[in-house]
Structure 1
Amino acid sequence: MKRILFALTCGLPILGSARALAAGDGDAPAEVKVKGATTAAQKLQQSAEAVTVVDTRRAQQQSADLGEVLARAQGVAVQRLGGLGANTRLYLNGCNEEEVRFFLDGVPFEYAGFPLDVANVPINFVQRAEIYRGVVPIRFGVDALCGALNLVTAERRDNHLRGSYQVGSFGTNRITLDGRYRNMDSGFVAGASFFLDHAKNNYPVEVEVADALGRSSTATLKRFHDRYMGYGGFAEVGVVDRPWARLLLLKAFASTYDKDLQNNNVMTVPYGEVTYGETIYGATLRYEQPLARNFDLKATASFSRRIIDFIDDSAWGYDWFGRRTTPRFPRGEIENIPHDQTFWQNNAYGNAMLSWAIHPSHIVRVNITPQGNFRTGEERILPTPGAPDPQGGKRNLFKLVTGAEYESHWFGGRLENVVLAKDYVMRMEGEVAGTTSFNSVSTSSHTIGAGDALRYRFTPWLYAKTSYEYATRLPSAFEIFGNGVLIRPNLELEPETSHNFNVGPRVEIKRSPVGSFVVDVNLFYREGDNLITPLLTDKFITYQNVYRARTYGLENGAQWDLPGRWLHLDGSFTFQEQRNVSKEGPFRAFDGDRIPSRPWMYGAWAAELRFYNIVTPSDSIKPFYTGRYVHDFYRSWESQGLTAYKQVIPAQVTHNVGISYILAGPATVTTTFEVQNIADAQVFDVFGLQRPGRAFYLKMTGDI
């Protein structure tokens, strides 16, 4: 007899993600058991930490990338500067991508081996995403202001081989391979992963073009200079569960990408030859072992080298048809200055945490995390021959974050509390090219922070969390030194600080007469000083300190599974107000304005229908649907200029539909056909850049 499962999701189980991680079947949803939780994801979701766990297994079968998946989670907004391979900006509770720190298996993302940002990580490598709101546990050892995102890839160490291939519109091809081997007798483990992404990104866009008389009109044309190619690999070897090492792993990585740049930040000027790219390689060593009774050590060391290239040396200008127009002298399309630049940045990172279990219900932890970025560069086309190379100065950034926390459990585990303290040290040394020589610039800072996270379980199906942290976020190397492409340096950036507060209940009702029901609500408040925010011209982005900003809002989600699991509903909604409240300094004129170019109200929803036993007893078919809404927002300060002429990112709704066929067995094979943005709506994100319209994708995944 056929069984039918109908699911309304946000593309993934967002609030009930821990539930899905407990599933014995790779597809069917599972349930979180309040007592006797057995997985790390379940324990984390139910801990005092302000975290939401997102399972990625359903999304691995679909064509949505990790950026789309994260954008469906409550409180998360993801903006893109174009199609596949384009830079992205991720927001959490209104905080931008630098104020939220990113990790891959607990290692900061910039040391983890991917040359692009977190949204472009192949989703088939990621088992789950952990979204931390506000308080960031000391084990991460970083200076996050508003939260963190940790992508977990390394927990599955059983023997397996899996891969995926996706082909679709705009010349898209994506391949992933991942395999692991474990010898149970010796504890030896080994693994390797590989990915390759390619896209022409030649999707239609609506632009202004001029006729032979110079008259402007609107035309829909295909992008002609937006190709992307990226690929990389990872190899891991080590041992687990040995008397002398609970875990000892060495992971080597190398990856690279090349990207064409089609236009300026506001999509008014086309480029025909501007290109950039990046290569990263390095290694990470992880070690975990009990040192003595009740003492435990976890340590990580990582080194990576990044090489960033940027070329803008065209002798011609281009129009939106891809035709050469007029010769350019001097050469260069972006700013009438030619560039052939390379930056070299060495990154070193260490993290060590010692835990002492005073009692099963009382644990003390201390953590120390040093990290350094050392950069230099070369401009091969000097604007003034004989003058110092403006990119050749040495630029070094050193950070040291130390922390301590005390975790306690009371009343039979109903109450869990974690109190913590952190210390932040930063030292920056740079060289700025003068007329005839380099001038030295240096800054340093030292701040402290503290916080507390509490969870209380009222009943087996209701618990609430609240947390507070006074946090410091030190400027990143890319914010201070730029990225060698579109982000310009600002050596005068200062650390930003914030008071962060979160509170909200979570309801998990299981096996009731009307099914399973999960509701998660979070209220948040941020009061920040020296907020670092990206501000732009039509060509470049520069990070600057806003004197003071205040953010508050509500994020929530709900999930419902009917008895028999034939109906599943899931949705999320986020509202937030982030205002500049500077009373002095360069931004006092915008007191009361929303911070520009950030979405402040958005939501997501989806649907999934499943039929079992179609051809064989082990197959199924899943039609699915996802949707997302983003309210309109201003691109610049809302009080600047006349209302009629203000640049607005319009409100937008997108719809995606697809169908998957799953054949389970010794090898599970899934074939998915999906149409994204089926209504072909115009979608804009950062600074008014247009994203792809309607697109068709076919994806196959296999797992042995």
Structure 2
Amino acid sequence: MFFSLFAVAQNSGSLQGNIVNSLNDQLENIEIHMVESSAVALTNKKGAFIFQNLAPGSYNVYAVYDGFQFPVETVEVEAGEMQQVTLYIGTLNYTLEEVKLRTLSLSEKLKNSAIKADIIPVEANTRRANSVEDLVDKSPGVKIRNVGGLGSPSNIIVGGFSGNAVKFLYDDIPIDYLGSNYGLTKVPTNAISRVEVYKGVLPTKIGVDALGSAINIVPKTSKKTNGTVSYETGSYNTHIATANANIKLNKHLFFGVNSFYNYSKNNYKVDNLPYKNQNTGQVTYIRERLFHNKFNQHSLEFSVQARELSWAESIEFKVNSYGLKKDIQNDPFSRTRPFGEVYRKEHGDFIPSLKYKNHFLDNKLSLNQFLVYSQIDFEIFDKGKNVYYDWKGMAHTTNSGSEMGNLLLDNGYLQNNFQQFTSRTNLNYLINNYFQIENNTVFSHYNRKSNVGDLNDNGTIYDKLITNFALNAQFFNQKLETNTQFKYLLGNFAGQYNASDNPLEENIVDKEVRNTGLSFSQALKYNINEKSYVRISYENTFRLPEQQELFGDNNFIIANYELTPEESKNINLGYTFAATHFGFEINTYYRDTKNLIRLKDLNQYQATFLNLDNVKGFGVELQANYEPVEHLRLSGNLTWNDFRLQSSKDKSLNNQHFEDARIANMPFYYGNISASYNFMELLKLSTDLSFFWDYSYVHQYYLDYIEKQFEPDGFLGLFGTSKINTSRIIPNQHTHNIGFIYVRDFSKQSVAFSAELKNAFNEDIYNEFKMQSPGRHFRMKITYSF
């Protein structure tokens, strides 16, 4: 069949066209995109463009100008003939949100069309005084729990998966080469274009070993000179500044900078903090401000890019540099003990990367190659000697070698140096308009060295290879779209480690480990009509252990070379309807996951990662949007998960009482409602003025495993009260955020001012491990764009 297709493709045609620009007189260097081949042409001084050596068939082309995508034109190309087309650039009749969604769905092209993805248009919200975390947290099926305010660690739930089962990427590349610099709680909205949330089968270009969910952070790009500068301030002495620019030096050469700075004291008030009276010895529970919770961070990204060269569609050299410092206020899982001097640092001073893209074989074969080398230092400082702090910030003398009670650190200092090399190669070959093959290969080499207790002289080395092959196809006049993938995973490492679970003893083991997995996935999408479609997918997938799970942190987490890959069988089914003013979507999913890796306490000071749990369950996501009148937008979503423990190697759970218990410390029912209205036309304003309201609800859940018999009765377990009285219940939570955005345009420049009141009714909000989050607080932001 393939030989026949190649033979037919030799009789090619051409497509020639021109641009009509009714906005201004610019005709040159306007991008013309072809959906089927991913090829891009630039118009000449007269507005003309051409695509040559095209196989006979139907092609969709569209113009991109000033950051916007204009209507698509379909052209039939016949063998040996030159087809003509005219594309128009003019006033759009779409709202900004509709334009962004249309552009993103087209940019995914054929290879992603059968795969479920939620696209969060961050660039459309850069003027709001909110964070990327806030925007992602409103997405259906997603719940982010961060402890401690700006810059704090967070745990994300996506489609029933959490922790390391959810992978993060930066521009399609696994994000670990950037450390924690681009975490959702740290990166400002001005630094990125959009966030892609994948659930179930992942696109072939996403070369990660996720169990079924991935978050892809996509940076801003531009074909012209532009930029933004912003400053944001708010409660708890919070300051966020950004400066981003793209400078067009000439027709082919571009220079870019993407930078931001974060600072916050994060000194919000918290209830129920244990305080011991030094005179009476009595312990009472008080409300006090966090006093040692400061965070500051700087991040710089420089890039030089050449485009439309004879030997490359684009080639980009980029350098990232960042540093951060975070005070450690308390234990990671509770606020039983406050710390007053412990802190951590992280920095990557010079992280170079290279990206090359080009097309070959008459634009049928595309190559996308990415290379990066990074060296990152992680440091912990625990040098407080013979001192402990109370929750009023007062220091007291004690006979303790350090605040955290660590047994391993040399003079209270730990440094882990991570070196990483990653290569990602993406090959995409278009057989014809209906068949496409793709290969994506990611190889990563990790080397960790430490200043304490490293048994391997050359560092601890870990190699990971992930390669997947895919066939994308369309049938029945493009009504049915399919994606079939085979993915091979290999993790290889060797070295010595201490296999003892007693911190005072050593059991040195020399071990070589080779973990492998072969995954299969099938995704289908059937277009019922122009407004609705259904998706279904199946996959059996693996996740290799992460380097920290294997090697520990030379501090509280000890190494475990016995870890094996997690495995999950997933089924996803969804229906989508989208009309001009109304749309809704329902998605269901089933997960059967084995050998889940979980952190298990060994003693008062140490823990290790173990393959402990087998989990099974299903979930439902509902989302809808409605525009009842012009400029008024309403949207909302609900998520219900029912994931339960089937068995466990944890002795405290491996008994009949906890069979079918809900997963501990994981919300299972939550939702969001949002509303926004633009008063520009109503008040006859010459500027934009929008008000918005966001509401979030999280149903009560349990910090620990609770026997199923003690759960509330009622439909889906959502009504009634628990039959067990415990302080480990995390109560129902309601959060309201309100704010406004004012935008004033000055020709090609604009100034925007926004303000937002978060947790407006000062509700008690609890996140990871039932630790209290900030109460009512505000943010203000001013943005200048050119």
Deviates more, 1:601-610 or 1:543-552: 543-552
Of the three residues 477, 480, 497, the one matched with 2:567 is: 497
- Name the CA shift for 1:495/1:83 in 2 (closer, same or farther; >3 Å): same
| Matched residue type, 1:222 | R
Of the three residues 133, 156, 160, the one matched with 1:90 is: 156
Task: Give distance in 2, aligned partners of 1:33 and 1:688.
Answer: 37
TM-score, normalised by the number of residues in structure 1: 0.89
1:376 aligns with 2:446: no
| Matched residue type, 2:359 | P
The superposition leaves residues 155-209 of structure 1 with CA deviations (integer Å, 9 ceiling, x where unpaired) of 3342111021111110100011110022452x11110111100001111111122
Of the three residues 398, 412, 426, the one matched with 1:353 is: 426
Superposed counterparts of 1:469-548, under 5 Å = 469-483=539-553, 488-510=558-580, 516-535=581-600, 542-548=608-614
> What is the deviation of 1:626?
1.0
Task: Give distance in 2, aligned partners of 1:508 and 1:75.
Answer: 19
> What is the deviation of 1:214?
2.3
The superposition leaves residues 24-71 of structure 1 with CA deviations (integer Å, 9 ceiling, x where unpaired) of 88995343699x968645758981111111111343222221112111
1:411 aligns with 2:411: no
1:649 aligns with 2:730: yes
The superposition leaves residues 481-525 of structure 1 with CA deviations (integer Å, 9 ceiling, x where unpaired) of 335666554333211011111111110112xxxxx1110111001
The superposition leaves residues 680-701 of structure 1 with CA deviations (integer Å, 9 ceiling, x where unpaired) of 1121111122111111221111
1:285 aligns with 2:358: no
TM-score, normalised by the number of residues in structure 2: 0.80
Task: Give distance in 1, aligned partners of 2:419 and 2:124.
Answer: 37
What corresponds to 2:87 in structure 1? none
Task: Give distance in 2, aligned partners of 1:597 and 1:437.
Answer: 33
Larger radius of gyration, structure 1 or 2? 2
What corresponds to 1:15 in structure 2? none
What corresponds to 1:5 in structure 2? none
What corresponds to 1:638 in structure 2? 706
Superposed counterparts of 1:575-654, under 5 Å = 575-582=640-647, 586=651, 587-589=653-655, 590-612=658-680, 618-639=686-707, 643-645=724-726, 647-654=728-735
| Matched residue type, 2:353 | T
Q: Decide whether the 8 Å contact of 2:425 with 2:442 is kept in 1.
A: yes
| Matched residue type, 1:448 | L
1:691 aligns with 2:744: no
> What is the deviation of 1:122?
1.7
| Matched residue type, 1:499 | K
- Name the CA shift for 1:110/1:118 in 2 (closer, same or farther; >3 Å): farther
Deviates more, 1:484-493 or 1:497-506: 484-493
Superposed counterparts of 1:225-240, under 5 Å = 225-240=292-307
Task: Give distance in 1, aligned partners of 2:608 and 2:177.
Answer: 23
Two-structure CA RMSD over aligned residues (Å): 2.8
Of the three residues 415, 429, 454, the one matched with 2:524 is: 454
Q: Decide whether the 8 Å contact of 1:364 with 1:404 is kept in 2.
A: yes
| Matched residue type, 1:355 | N
| Matched residue type, 1:656 | N
> What is the deviation of 1:440?
2.6
| Matched residue type, 1:648 | I
> What is the deviation of 1:114?
4.8
What corresponds to 1:427 in structure 2? 492
Task: Give distance in 1, aligned partners of 2:673 and 2:560.
Answer: 40
Share of identical aligned residues, percent? 25
Task: Give distance in 2, aligned partners of 1:392 and 1:372.
Answer: 17
Q: Give SS of 1:454's match.
A: strand
Superposed counterparts of 1:41-80, under 5 Å = 41=107, 43=109, 47-80=113-146
Q: Give SS of 1:523's match.
A: strand
| Matched residue type, 1:345 | F
Task: Give distance in 1, aligned partners of 2:762 and 2:557.
Answer: 31
Task: Give distance in 2, aligned partners of 1:68 and 1:45.
Answer: 30
- Name the CA shift for 1:213/1:439 in 2 (closer, same or farther; >3 Å): same
What corresponds to 1:274 in structure 2? 342
Q: Decide whether the 8 Å contact of 1:32 with 1:42 is kept in 2.
A: no
The superposition leaves residues 370-413 of structure 1 with CA deviations (integer Å, 9 ceiling, x where unpaired) of 1121101013xxxxxxxx56798832211111111000011221
Gaps of 5+ in 2: 1-66, 71-90, 500-504, 711-722
What corresponds to 2:462 in structure 1? 397
Deviates more, 1:459-468 or 1:480-489: 480-489
- Name the CA shift for 1:323/1:616 in 2 (closer, same or farther; >3 Å): same
Task: Give distance in 2, aligned partners of 1:350 and 1:45.
Answer: 21
1:311 aligns with 2:393: no
The superposition leaves residues 597-649 of structure 1 with CA deviations (integer Å, 9 ceiling, x where unpaired) of 11111111122232116999641211221111111221122239993345122
- Name the CA shift for 1:643/1:392 in 2 (closer, same or farther; >3 Å): farther
| Matched residue type, 2:777 | A
Task: Give distance in 1, aligned partners of 2:130 and 2:775.
Answer: 14
Of the three residues 739, 750, 754, the one matched with 1:658 is: 739
Q: Decide whether the 8 Å contact of 1:21 with 1:41 is kept in 2.
A: no
Deviates more, 1:641-650 or 1:36-45: 36-45
Deviates more, 1:579-588 or 1:196-205: 579-588
Q: Give SS of 2:535's match.
A: strand
Q: Decide whether the 8 Å contact of 1:80 with 1:86 is kept in 2.
A: yes
What corresponds to 1:190 in structure 2? 255
Q: Decide whether the 8 Å contact of 1:535 with 1:544 is kept in 2.
A: yes
What corresponds to 2:217 in structure 1? 151
Gaps of 5+ in 1: 1-19, 380-387, 511-515
Q: Give SS of 2:360's match.
A: strand
Q: Decide whether the 8 Å contact of 2:456 with 2:495 is kept in 1.
A: no
What corresponds to 1:672 in structure 2? 754
The superposition leaves residues 215-238 of structure 1 with CA deviations (integer Å, 9 ceiling, x where unpaired) of 232221111100111111000112
Of the three residues 235, 241, 262, the one matched with 2:329 is: 262
Task: Give distance in 2, aligned partners of 1:568 and 1:610.
Answer: 9
> What is the deviation of 1:535?
4.6
Deviates more, 1:226-235 or 1:285-294: 285-294
- Name the CA shift for 1:156/1:98 in 2 (closer, same or farther; >3 Å): farther
Task: Give distance in 1, aligned partners of 2:383 and 2:259.
Answer: 33
Q: Give SS of 2:190's match.
A: helix
1:128 aligns with 2:199: no
- Name the CA shift for 1:585/1:198 in 2 (closer, same or farther; >3 Å): closer
- Name the CA shift for 1:26/1:664 in 2 (closer, same or farther; >3 Å): farther
Task: Give distance in 2, aligned partners of 1:138 and 1:520.
Answer: 24
Task: Give distance in 1, aligned partners of 2:197 and 2:105.
Answer: 17
Task: Give distance in 2, aligned partners of 1:116 and 1:29.
Answer: 26
- Name the CA shift for 1:634/1:252 in 2 (closer, same or farther; >3 Å): same
Task: Give distance in 2, aligned partners of 1:153 and 1:688.
Answer: 34
Task: Give distance in 2, aligned partners of 1:38 and 1:235.
Answer: 25
What corresponds to 1:16 in structure 2? none
Task: Give distance in 1, aligned partners of 2:112 and 2:635.
Answer: 19
Task: Give distance in 1, aligned partners of 2:570 and 2:212.
Answer: 7
Task: Give distance in 2, aligned partners of 1:217 and 1:108.
Answer: 46
Q: Decide whether the 8 Å contact of 1:102 with 1:118 is kept in 2.
A: no
Higher-RCO chain (CA-CA 8 Å, sequence separation at least 6): 1
Q: Give SS of 1:479's match.
A: helix
| Matched residue type, 1:416 | E
Q: Give SS of 1:303's match.
A: strand
Of the three residues 313, 317, 320, the one matched with 1:253 is: 320
Deviates more, 1:470-479 or 1:643-652: 643-652
| Matched residue type, 1:658 | G
Of the three residues 308, 311, 328, the one matched with 1:244 is: 311
